[in-house]
Amino acid sequence: MSMKDPSMIALLVKPFVIGAKLQIKRYEQARVLCEEDAILGTNLCMHEVSALFEDLATIAYYLKVIDLSHPNHDLWIDVRHHLRHDLREELDKDEAKKSGRAKRLKINQNLQMDLGFKEDSIKVGDTVIKLTEVTSYLDWASREVGKIFKKGVEQGRIKPS
Question: Tens-digit pLDDT profile for the chain (161 aa)?
Answer: 456 788 888 889 999 999 999 999 999 999 999 999 999 999 999 999 999 999 999 999 999 999 999 999 999 999 998 887 766 655 556 667 777 777 887 777 766 667 899 999 999 989 999 999 999 999 999 999 999 989 988 988 888 77
Domain ranges (residues) in the chain: 6-89+132-154
Query: CB–CB of 20/56 below 8 Å?
Result: yes
Angle at 129 between CA 126 and CA 132, to 5 degrees: 155
